[in-house]
Chains A and B, each alone.
Chain A
Amino acid sequence: MAVSATSDAAQARYKPASWSTRLRQHPAGPVAVVCGGMLLACVIAGLLFPDRFFFLTQGNLSLLLRAIPNFGMVALGVGILMIAGEFDLSVGSVFVAAPFAMAFAFANGVPLPLAILLAFAIAVGVGLINAFITLRFGIPSFITTLGMLFIVRTVAPFVVGYQRSLSFRPPTEFKALLSGNAFGVIPAHFLWFIGLAVISYLLLNRHFLGNHFFAAGGDPRAARFAGVNVNRTKTIAFVLASVFATIAGIFAITRVGTASTNPQLFIELFAVAICVMGGLSLFGGRGSVIGIVLGVTVLQLVQDVIILARLPGFYLDMFVGLMIVVGVVLNQTIRRKY
């Protein structure tokens, strides 16, 4: 076979996509605009009415930075799994149950590292069960994980003797590392979230697993024909979703100092909502980490504004509902154009 083009000629003909093309293609474009606009509006309002709208106070900003990681960490895992073409609603229960098991073991004399390992073992176990049932029997993961949401929620308190809550008192260094402040002002929790987001980005965009997640979610058949092991890829994504929810849960109980088996209301649905707002496709294969980060930021910004403006709390739910519907409609219409 004759080689007709030198590498140099190829370089000249095929340029990497321009930044405008990338922005247009980027699934997080709309949420970036919304997030930027809201931030700008909040800052302006905070500057205009410093004595009525306390957005720019250190207390408020610090609160915002502490609120973002809670849903954000769960949404990262759920988002990666969504890109791989599957849902996980059981994260709501794993978020509660795995850290509770950790706190329970720790309270009963198990060394902290082992207790943490136990939490992750539970997470991996739930992820594997979700994957096995979904992939082996060809069931929509929405259903499988809805079932697991209820099962994990009820089994967890049963296993530990119907204990509803217990205090979690880790060593102070552990608590400081997870929920202290870096440089005196930035919550460590937020930095961990950013770290997790960077890892997720590298995984999705620079790691071969990420390539397989996008392929398996975008078109499982084509992925299989190209040589991607779709079931293994999706299984890994299921496990990641559970593990990320567990990480989020461990941060939550460390911050609060109490582990409870009471369900965190709708965290699994908020995670899906954040992902959809962030431009991830409900059908898999499309999405970005930056979209998830912006999605959760928008959500918490709205919550913050509602609190600062002393509006009734149900405004948040209404806003989230609207954003999901509008977001999905927008995504669909934009896709149809191409």
Chain B
Amino acid sequence: MTETTESLDAPAGRAAATQQPLFEAKGVSKAYGHVNALMDVDFEVRPNEVVGLLGDNGAGKSTLIKILSGVVDPDKGTFLRDGAPVDIGSRRKSEAAGIQTIYQDIALVRSMSIMRNIYAGREPLGLLGFMRMREMRETAMKILDEYVRIAGITSPDLLVEELSGGQAQAVAIARAVHFKRDILLLDEPTSALSIRETEKVLTIMRDLAESGVSCVFVTHNLYHAFRVCDRFAIMSHGQNVQSVPKSETTLNELTDVIMTH
């Protein structure tokens, strides 16, 4: 992984727009009681892109991410993977459709070790459902070393509650990046991170897009979004507002769109 950041700018005018979307969500609605979190929202992820999912608080970004991850059931909506309908009704099904997620509120079990967290729900199994501990330990160490490399994490046996917020978030990111398939959803991944760690996450997103893993980047930080995203999908009050390629907009324009809706 390179430490340089100047390569973060997305190549303008990439061909992605003409290709078939990797993943599509159509007409997604979700209400919590009387509150309409999402109303007839369309969203798509194209191959080899980082798409910024932007909008103010309450726009429905997190709800959409949770639906795509399979942990929240939508009231309505259809989902297509490579143009074919796909069921993402549970975390497992969503994962089978190629989706990994890094959640806004760190989704690690604090009372468990890093290693047990990394493999929760996807343990490598041997005979009779017993875990292959050796393989888990070795891979956990490799994951920590490749993607995290954060001071203070000395062992995969450390409990998550012994880590700082940033360290824990880094572990959550490392886990998702390691198990990524085709699409990585990042719901405000950098909110708990230091500057250096944030840079690393931005670089990872760019690298992933180049290597064929599309990223959905939810953030309030438009500077970050503008640096890494190829396209911006803007939401407001549970509805679509705009989807615009980076080449056709500016940072000021984006800010205006979000502010005025």
B101, B111, B154, B159: which contacts A219 (Cβ < 8 A)?
Answer: B111
Q: Which of B91-131 contact A (CB under 8 A)?
A: 91-92, 95, 101, 103, 106-112, 116-117, 119-123, 125, 128-131
Q: What band does the interface of chain B fall in when counting residues whose beta carbon is under 8 Å from A?
A: 35 or more
Q: Is the CB of B157 within 8 A of A208?
A: no
Structural contact, B154 and A14, CB atoms closer than 8 A: yes
Q: Specify which chain B residues have a CB less than 8 angstroms from the CB of A1 in the assembled complex.
A: 1, 204, 207-208, 211
A317 to B229, CA, bound (A): 66
Among A15-23, A148-156, A173-181, the stretch in contact with B? A15-23
A15-B154, A218-B110, A225-B91 known; A4+B101 contact, CB < 8 A: no
Please name all residues of chain A whose beta carbon is closer than 8 Å to the beta carbon of B141 when the two chains form the complex: 7, 10-11, 13-14
Tell me if A48 counts as interface (CB < 8 A to partner B).
no
A66 at the interface (CB under 8 A from B): no
Contact in complex: A223, B142 (CB < 8 Å): no
Within 8 Å of chain B (Cβ to Cβ): is A285? yes
Interface residues of A in 1-38 (CB under 8 A from B): 1-5, 7, 9-11, 13-17, 21-22, 25
Q: Do most interface residues of chain A lie in helix, strand or loop, or is the interface mixed?
A: helix
The 8 Å CB contact of B122, one of A222, A223, A224, A227, is A227
Scoring B107, B125, B141, B159 by chain A CB atoms within 10 A of each residue's CB, the highest score goes to B141
The count of chain A contact residues (Cβ–Cβ below 8 Å) is 41
A219→B159 CA distance, assembly (Å): 13
Pairwise interchain contact A227-B146, C-beta atoms closer than 8 A: no
- Max chain B Cβ within 10 angstroms of own Cβ: one of A3, A218, A338: A218
Q: A14-B156, A222-B108 given as contacts; is B125 within 8 A of A208 (CB)?
A: yes
Q: Is the CB of A17 within 8 A of B157?
A: yes
Query: Are A2 and B208 CB-contacts (below 8 A) given A16-B137, A218-B111?
Result: no
Q: Are B145 and A206 in contact (CB under 8 A)?
A: no
Report whether B142 and A5 are in contact in the complex, using a CB–CB cutoff of 8 Å: yes
Chain A residues within an 8 Å CB radius of B211: 1
Q: Does A296 contact B (CB under 8 A)?
A: no
Choice from B117, B153, B157 contacting A22 with Cβ under 8 Å: B157
Q: Which of B129, B161, B207 contacts A207 (CB 8 A)?
A: B129
Residues of B within 8 Å of A10, CB to CB, are 138, 141-142, 144-146
Report B150 CB to chain A, min CB distance, Å: 11
Are A14 and B91 neighbours in the complex by a CB distance under 8 Å? no
**Chain A residues positioned under 8 Å from B204 (CB to CB):** 1
Contacts of B146 in A (CB 8 A): 3-5, 10
Name 23 A/B residue pairs within 8 A (Cβ), A-sorted: A3-B146, A7-B138, A7-B142, A10-B145, A14-B155, A16-B155, A25-B159, A202-B130, A206-B131, A208-B125, A208-B130, A209-B129, A218-B110, A222-B108, A222-B109, A225-B103, A225-B107, A226-B107, A226-B109, A226-B122, A229-B92, A281-B111, A285-B111
A4-B1, A10-B138, A206-B133 known; 19 other A-B pairs, CB under 8 Å?
Answer: A1-B1, A4-B145, A10-B142, A11-B141, A15-B155, A16-B155, A16-B157, A17-B158, A22-B157, A207-B131, A212-B121, A214-B111, A214-B116, A215-B121, A218-B109, A222-B108, A227-B95, A285-B111, A285-B112
